[in-house]
Structure 1
Amino acid sequence: QPPQQLVLAAEFPSAAAACDAVCRIMERGHTPSLLELMDRTTVRAVNAMASMGLPETTEALLLCAFDTPDPLADLAAVGALCTAAGATEVVPADNPAESELLLQARRMSLTALEAVKPATMIDDVCVPRSRLGAMLAGTAAIAEEYDLTIGVCAHAGDGNTHPVVCFDHHDPDESRRARESFDAIMALGLELGGTITGEHGVGVLKKEWLARELGETGVELQRSIKAAFDPLGLLNPGKLF
C-alpha cells in the first residue's frame, strides 16, 4: 500500500516570488514527490476548459505534494516557506480526494493550452533553479514581443520548464512568429546557463540548436558514440545530424 499523497496549492503575485519559494523549499532539504508551477496564462486556460475555479488573479500557482510518513507536517513547513516568499494564499489539501482535484488541474494544462489555438509548439528548456524566475519573466517578455499566447508549466523542483507556444498554423505570419519565439525561448535558456532539453530530447525540431549548446566537438562526440553502437546506421535512420 503506497503512502497517501497530500498536495498544497500556493498563489503568488509574481513568478519571481513563486520561484523564490521553490528555492527555499529545496534549500531546506524538503523532498516533495511533486513540485509543479503553472503561470497565469496556463491557469486561465485550464479554467476556460474545465471551469475549475482556479484563481485567475494569481501570476503563478505552485503545487507541492508529499507522500512522506507525515505529509501534513511537511505541507505545513512548506506552506510557511511559501508565505515567507510572498504567497498571497496557501491552501493545503486535507485529504487525498482534495489533492487529486488540485493535481487534475496540472494534468490538463497542456490539453487546455492546446485548445487556445489550432496548433502548439512545446518547448522543454531546463535552467538552474536559481534562474527559474528569470526564465519565466523572459518567456513572458517573448510572448509580448511576438504577440503570442505562451503558457508555462514547470517541474519547478529541477528547473524544467515547458513553455507552450499557441498559434494558428493556417496563418503564415503567426506561424513564423511562433517558430521565432520558440527559438528565442531556447536562446534564453542557454543564456541562463540551462539546456534546450530537460527531459524529452532534441528531436528534429531542435537539431539546429544542438551545436549551439554542445559545440561542434560535443556534437562530433555524439556522432562517434552513435557510430560505435550502430555502425550500419540501422537505428533511427536518417536522423543523425
Structure 2
Amino acid sequence: MSLSELVEAGVVTLDRRTRDGAAADRSGWPGAGAPRAVARPRHIEEVQRLMAWASATATPVITRGAGSGLAGAASGTAEALVLDLSRMDRIVQIDADEQLARVEPGVITADLDRAAAEHGLMYAPDPASVGISTIGGNIATNAGGLRGAKYGVTRDHVLALDVVLADGTVIHVGHDTIKGVTGYDLVGLFTGSEGTLGVVVGATLRLLPRPARTATAAVFFADVATAARAVTAITRSGARPAVLEILDGATLGAIDDAEGTRLRELGDAFLLVQTDGYGAEEELTVIREAVGALATSFDVATDAADADRLLFARRQALPALEAIGRPLIEDIAVPRTRLAEAVERISAIAAEEDVPVFVFGHAGDGNLHPILVTEPAPAGAPIPPRAQIVADRIFALALELGGTITAEHGVGRLKREWAARELGPDVHALQTRIRSLFDPDGILNPASSL
C-alpha cells in the first residue's frame, strides 16, 4: 500500500498544522522540523499496514500518544512518520475476578483508574500527567508517579503486551495471568523502550484492590536536610507510605506568591505523606512517632476534604512555577540517604549559574524533579544555553551521587549523551545489538540512543 492510498483511507494526514503539532512535546526540546506525515490508526490491522509500508520504504517511525512526554522521545522529526495511537482508546475489558484490565494504548490513565474504581479496584501508577497521558505513553517511558513509593512504576503492573514489530508482524508477549515465567521477560524489555523495539497496540494490566482507607499528613521542617532525615526515619520505622512527596522552600514560596498562602512560614521544606489500607491511621501514627521531633508542623487530615486541602501544595507546585516563567522539568533519582545533599547542591548550581531552580519530587523512592524556570517562550523554542548548562551539571551530580539521569520521564532526545555515560560502552553496545534484532533496518525512533 502506498502513502497516497493510506491518505485516501483516512489513516494518514499530510495536514501542516497536524504535522507541526506532532513535532514537539512538553519537554521543551525544539524539534527538528515537521514530520513527513501523521498517521492516526484505529485498529491493529492499520498499524500493521503502516509498519509494512514504513519498512518497505525505509521511513522512520516515531510512535506517539498524548504528547505529554518530557524527554522529547515522541517528537516528530523531518522525513518521519508519526504514529499517533490516541484514537486506539478502548478499555476492552475490566476483569474484576482476575483483577486485570485489557486496554488499547490510547486509553487515558485516569480513565482506566475510574473504570477500575467501579469494580472496587485501582490502576496504581499515577504520573503527574494522569489526566492527559496515555497508557501506551506510560508503558513507553515506564512512567512512575506519586504512589510509586509503595506501588512502584508502570513495569510493575504490566502483565502482557500486543506489539507490532518494525516489519508489521504482530506478537503477544507476557501472560494474561498474574504469574508466568516461561521464556525471557520481553514485557519488561518493551516497557520503557520508548518506541525503539516495536509499537505497543494492546496491554494486559494488573489492577489492585482500592484501599479501604487513606490517611494524609502535611509535615513541615526547618530545612531540606531535616526533611531528608525524616525520610530515612520513615523508611527505618517499617511504615510504607503510598505517597511520600518532598517540596523545597523555594517551591513553597512560589506557591505562596501564586495562591496567597503562607506555607513557607511553617517551614523551609515540606513532606506530603499518605498511607492507605485497613491500617492507614495506625501506620500514620508510626510515621508521626518517627518524625514528630524533627518537624516544625505535623497536620493530619480528618476527612476527604481535609486531605484535599493537604494535597493542595503538591498539586499547585507546577502551576505556581508556570506562573513565573517557562518551566523545564528535569528528572533524576539518587539514593534516599543522599536526598539532602542532592537538593543542597542543586541549589548551589542554580546560584552559580544564575538560573532559578525549584525542587520537588517523590522522596519515597529518591526521585527528584529539579524545575529550571526561564523567561517565557513559545512552545518549541530552544532551551536557553545557561539552562542547558544547569541541566547538564544536575545530571552529572546525579551520577556522582550514585543515582540515575532519569527515573520516570525516559531518555528521549534530551538525554541521549547522558544515557550513554550512565550505561557505559559495554552495556550501551549490548542494548544496540538487542535493538537491531527487533528492528534491523533501524526505522523505529532512530534518533533515540536507547
> Which TM-score applies when normalising by structure 1?
0.91
Which of 40, 44, 58 does residue 249 from structure 2 map onto?
40
2:280 is aligned to: 71
Provide Cα deviations, 1:67-110, integer angstroms capped at 9, x if missing partner: 121322222221222223x2111111111211112213212212
Alpha-carbon RMSD: 1.9
In the alignment, structure 2 segments of 5+ residues that lack a partner are 1-119, 121-209, 378-382
Q: Percent identity?
A: 40
2:408 is aligned to: 199
1:5 and 2:206 matched: no
Query: One-letter code of the match for 1:111?
Result: P
Q: 1:52, 1:105 within 8 Å by CA — same for their partners in 2? A: no
Secondary structure at the counterpart of residue 234 of structure 1: coil
Give the Å deviation of 1:19.
0.6
Secondary structure at the counterpart of residue 239 of structure 1: coil
Which segment drifts farther, 72-81 or 151-160?
A: 72-81
1:208 and 2:412 matched: no
Which segment drifts farther, 43-52 or 154-163?
A: 43-52
Give the Å deviation of 1:59.
1.5
The within-5 A match list for 1:44-55 is 44-55=253-264
Q: Distance in 2 between matches of 1:65 and 1:140?
A: 27
1:102 and 2:306 matched: no
The within-5 A match list for 1:108-127 is 108-117=316-325, 119-127=326-334
2:236 is aligned to: 27
Structure 1 stretches of 4+ with a deviation exceeding 3 A read none
Give the Å deviation of 1:186.
0.8
Q: Distance in 1 between matches of 2:273 and 2:232?
A: 13
The within-5 A match list for 1:210-229 is 210-229=419-438
User: Structure 2 vs 1, CA of residues 234 and 96 (structure 1 numbering), >3 Å: closer, same or farther?
Assistant: same
Query: One-letter code of the match for 2:300?
Result: P
1:138 is aligned to: 345
Query: One-letter code of the match for 1:188?
Result: L
Q: Distance in 2 between matches of 1:116 and 1:39?
A: 16
Q: Distance in 1 between matches of 2:262 and 2:286?
A: 26
The within-5 A match list for 1:147-226 is 147-168=354-375, 175-226=384-435
Secondary structure at the counterpart of residue 263 of structure 2: coil
In the alignment, structure 1 segments of 5+ residues that lack a partner are none
Point out which structure has higher relative CO (alpha carbons under 8 A, 6+ apart).
Answer: 1
Which structure has the larger Rg? Answer: 2
Give the Å deviation of 1:57.
5.4
User: Structure 2 vs 1, CA of residues 4 and 100 (structure 1 numbering), >3 Å: closer, same or farther?
Assistant: farther
User: Structure 2 vs 1, CA of residues 125 and 240 (structure 1 numbering), >3 Å: closer, same or farther?
Assistant: closer
Q: 1:6, 1:96 within 8 Å by CA — same for their partners in 2? A: no
> Which TM-score applies when normalising by structure 2?
0.50
Q: 1:15, 1:59 within 8 Å by CA — same for their partners in 2? A: yes
Secondary structure at the counterpart of residue 445 of structure 2: coil
Secondary structure at the counterpart of residue 396 of structure 2: helix
Higher helix share: 1
Give the Å deviation of 1:236.
1.7
Q: Distance in 2 between matches of 1:214 and 1:201?
A: 14
Query: One-letter code of the match for 1:138?
Result: R
1:88 and 2:287 matched: no
**In the comparison of the two structures, how many residue pairs are matched?**
237
Give the Å deviation of 1:38.
0.5
Q: Distance in 2 between matches of 1:59 and 1:113?
A: 17
Query: One-letter code of the match for 2:337?
Result: S
Q: Distance in 2 between matches of 1:48 and 1:98?
A: 22
